[in-house]
Amino acid sequence: MKPERLEQLDKIRERAEYVFALAGNPNVGKSTIFNRITGMGVMTANYPGMTVELNLGMTELDGRKIGVVDLPGTYALGAVSEDQLVARRGVLQGRPDVVIVILDANNLARNLYLLLQFLDLGCPVVAALNLVDQADKAGLHTDVEMLAEFLGVPVVPTVGVRGDNLDELMHQALDLARRREEYFTMPFSYATDIESRVRKLARRLEGKLEEKPYGISHRALAILLLEDDEEFQRALLEEEAGEELASYSRKIAEEIEKEHGEKAALIIARERHGIAGSIASNVQERREYDRPRPGERMWEYTTSFKTGIPILLVVMGLLFLAIFWGGGALAELFADFWESVIGGPLNSGIESVLGVNMFSRSLGWAVDGLGAVLEIALPYLVVFYLILGFMEDTGYLNSVAFLTDRFMHRLGLHGRAVIPLISAVGCNVPAVMGTRVLSTRRERVIACALIVLVPCSARVAVIMGGVARFVGWWQALLLFAVIFAVVIAAGLLLNKIIPGESAGLVMEMFPFRTPSVLNVLKKTWLRLKDFFLVAAPLIVLGSFLLGLLYESGWILELTGPLEPVAEWWLGIPAVALLALIFAFLRKELALALLLVLAAQAIPGVTADSSLLDFMSKGQIFTFALVCAIYIPCVATLAVLWRELGGRDSLIITGSTVVLALLLGGLSHLILLLL
């Protein structure tokens, strides 16, 4: 776990009397429940792999302050991938008083595996049987009392999106936290031969081990050692009797392997799955339907190759048209509103208060920069985020992952990687973070390299606000096709040159669900709020600094050295390349600053001018192509650096610059020939 997250968790523990951790498989509504409990805005979606970091919040219950930790959605508590490791560290290092495990009533056996792992670790557990409303509609009934008896922990049926029984859930957790010192449960045991060896190893650990890693029980440590958990094996070797205990652990594991013909880790996993399946079959009854339900039929249509591919093409086409027409209509409304209500009066007010001087004119640049953002970037972001939220909540992105798995293997990835790639169209930053759900570093490097090539909403805004608006919709479609071809070619190349193979796809599948309009609107607002808080200040500040550079005469000094590359190689004005360089702060700056720079540096061009007043259609196309391919924004680079390290981040970034310049020069050459 990141040190800063531990510090925040420590601060919450200082402020709170108790700390609860929310855990569960992806897509069980865990983040929705977290939002309901704490009032915080954590993104929720109907597909796996949405949450990859700890989210921390506070709430009050019966006058007591409760800290709440939302762990990453994960299927297990191993250290195979980043999401599993972060979830486990959040419990072992954070030491919550109670772990609330969220179970999906529609897929209980699959979900119980994680809960059994928490019980193996000796964690005080309360179970929330979520999505019971959808299970009832599907004819699936769960005997909650019998489930609680089998597990030996409190079980509360909930409907997270409506908040049903969440108050009861929190009271059960609070009651368990109050009597945590009395807490002991061992509701299940493994097969006799396995359980006897686990206890045998635990007794040896108890007699020889002075300090247990993370303070877990000897039985929990014994199970982890038999599962070949590398983290705990390393921790054991640091102890005085570590070598002896490690040797004894291997001996016990070899006995199990000799008797069963498989490694002890696999046998324990099978046992746990078997117990989970047995419990689920005993507590659930299903009412059979004569025909598949609508959600199940939609899943079949969208995952079948014959029908899924045409549906995917139609969805992508409708997405493009919605962004083009809807974003364009909003852009006109925003432009009229800005000019009449905010931009014009604000510029006049600045000049009347400060007079006409270098500082006031620079402030005018900042105003024009903000206006360009609201007129060009924001309209397309609104439309895209609304559609993305709808696809997330219905679960369609999950079907896309399943459908594209075979193709993604050719890029060195698997179907689950398509989720961060698609979400990269919204923003590259969370998409890069989303690669933590991939199991190998090779997959993460390939996925990150492809993500930075996927045009985020900021670059889509540049393409739609520049090419689609001033050149034509089919030219914008052509540009997207070129970028798509570049992403595919890059994936094929990386799969060839980076050693290793992609892992298989393991993903929970489920029928479509009816999206919550409120949830879609809320997620759209959260994403737009992030845009306003992060992007808008950078754009305004960047515009102001550019204004100072121009008004002081320094801007002309910068455009001079750029002319050979800009005008000879790319065939665009030098101010356009300068705008691209400053767009490293945020890609919306490219188009926003282009208008501002052109108005100040090119005679006859004003803030109200069209791009066509100083650039040809071909130049606009080349400008947008280079903007879409070259170096990711500073926020994406920072996340890349954190996730992959400096070397790989610089290689990926440098490669995009070279690729953008090559494609830009090729575009210019083709336009000259035509």
Contacts of 484 (CB under 8 A, 6+ apart): none
Name the residue among 116, 108, 439 with its Cα closest to residue 271.
116
For residues 132 and 157, what is the distance between their CA atoms, to the nearest angstrom?
A: 7
For residues 629 and 459, what is the distance between their CA atoms, to the nearest angstrom?
A: 9
Which stretches within 373-472 are classed as H helix?
378-394, 396-403, 405-410, 418-423, 428-434, 441-451, 457-462, 469-470
Query: Does the pLDDT at position 114 exceed 90?
Result: yes
pLDDT score for 557: 73
What is the number of other CB atoms lying within 10 angstroms of the CB of residue 254? 12
pLDDT, mean of residues 221-238: 89
pLDDT band at 350 (very low <50, low <70, confident <90, very high): confident
What is the number of other CB atoms lying within 10 angstroms of the CB of residue 10? 11
Query: Does the pLDDT at position 4 exceed 60?
Result: no
Query: Does the pLDDT at position 108 exceed 90?
Result: yes
pLDDT, mean of residues 582-605: 74
For residues 242 and 235, what is the distance between their CA atoms, to the nearest angstrom?
A: 8
Query: Does the pLDDT at position 298 exceed 50?
Result: yes
Residue with tokens 């029908």: 307
3-state secondary structure of 69: strand
Contacts of 515 (CB under 8 A, 6+ apart): 46, 389, 390, 393, 394
Residue 317 Cα to chain centre, angstroms:
24
pLDDT score for 560: 77
Which of residues 575 and 650 earns the better pLDDT score? 650
Query: Does the pLDDT at position 467 exceed 60?
Result: yes
Query: Does the pLDDT at position 10 exceed 80?
Result: no
Query: Does the pLDDT at position 281 exceed 90?
Result: yes
Query: Does the pLDDT at position 420 exceed 70?
Result: yes
CA dihedral of residues 6, 433, 112, 228 (deg, nearest 10): -70
First-to-last alpha carbon distance for the chain, in angstroms, is 56
For residues 627 and 621, what is the distance between their CA atoms, to the nearest angstrom?
A: 10
Biggest alpha carbon–alpha carbon distance for the chain: 89
For residues 427 and 530, what is the distance between their CA atoms, to the nearest angstrom?
A: 11
Q: Specify the domain boundaries for CATH 3.40.50.300 within the chain.
A: 3-182
pTM of this prediction exceeds 0.85: no
Instruction: Give the DSSP letter of residue 122.
Output: T
CA dihedral of residues 161, 165, 170, 171 (deg, nearest 10): 170
Going from the C-alpha of 342 to that of each of 306, 336, 539, the distances in angstroms are 52, 10, 17
pLDDT score for 529: 77
pLDDT, mean of residues 260-266: 91
55-61 and 64-70 beta bridge pairing: antiparallel
Which of residues 157 and 131 earns the better pLDDT score? 157
Query: Does the pLDDT at position 320 exceed 90?
Result: no
pLDDT, mean of residues 240-264: 91
Query: Does the pLDDT at position 16 exceed 80?
Result: yes
pLDDT band at 272 (very low <50, low <70, confident <90, very high): very high
Residue type, 535: A
Going from the C-alpha of 131 to that of each of 100, 113, 146, the distances in angstroms are 15, 18, 18
For residues 15 and 90, what is the distance between their CA atoms, to the nearest angstrom?
A: 18
pLDDT score for 665: 93
Name the residue among 194, 175, 23 with its Cα closest to residue 101.
23
Contacts of 213 (CB under 8 A, 6+ apart): 92, 221, 231, 232, 235, 236
pLDDT band at 20 (very low <50, low <70, confident <90, very high): very high
Secondary structure (DSSP) of 80-106 = SSHHHHHHHHHHHTT--SEEEEEEETT
pLDDT, mean of residues 172-194: 79
pLDDT digit string, tens, across residues 70-81 = 888 888 887 666
pLDDT score for 604: 74
Q: What is the CATH number of domain 192-286?
A: 1.10.287
Query: Does the pLDDT at position 336 exceed 50?
Result: yes
For residues 541 and 519, what is the distance between their CA atoms, to the nearest angstrom?
A: 33
206: Cα within 13 Å, side-chain hemisphere: 10
pLDDT score for 78: 75
Going from the C-alpha of 97 to that of each of 71, 88, 217, the distances in angstroms are 14, 15, 15
Query: Does the pLDDT at position 43 exceed 70?
Result: no
pLDDT band at 660 (very low <50, low <70, confident <90, very high): very high
pLDDT score for 257: 92
pLDDT score for 515: 80
Q: If you average pLDDT over every residue of the chain, what do you get?
A: 83
pLDDT band at 174 (very low <50, low <70, confident <90, very high): very high
Residue 137 Cα to chain centre, angstroms:
30
Residue 44 Cα to chain centre, angstroms:
10
Mean pLDDT check: name the lowest of 23-27, 253-257, 442-446, 487-491.
23-27
Query: Does the pLDDT at position 148 exceed 70?
Result: yes
Q: Specify the domain boundaries for CATH 1.10.287 within the chain.
A: 192-286
Which of residues 587 and 95 earns the better pLDDT score? 95
Query: Does the pLDDT at position 481 exceed 80?
Result: yes
pLDDT band at 157 (very low <50, low <70, confident <90, very high): very high
pLDDT score for 236: 87
Query: Does the pLDDT at position 47 exceed 70?
Result: no
Q: Are 588 and 537 in contact (CB under 8 A)?
A: no
pLDDT, mean of residues 8-22: 81
Which stretches within 262-304 are classed as H helix?
264-283, 294-303
Q: What is the CATH number of domain 3-182?
A: 3.40.50.300
pLDDT, mean of residues 373-398: 78
pLDDT band at 264 (very low <50, low <70, confident <90, very high): very high
SS (H, E, C) 593-643: HHHHHHHHHCCCCCCCCCHHHCCCHHHHHHHHHHHHHCCCCHHHHHHHHHH
Query: Does the pLDDT at position 295 exceed 70?
Result: no
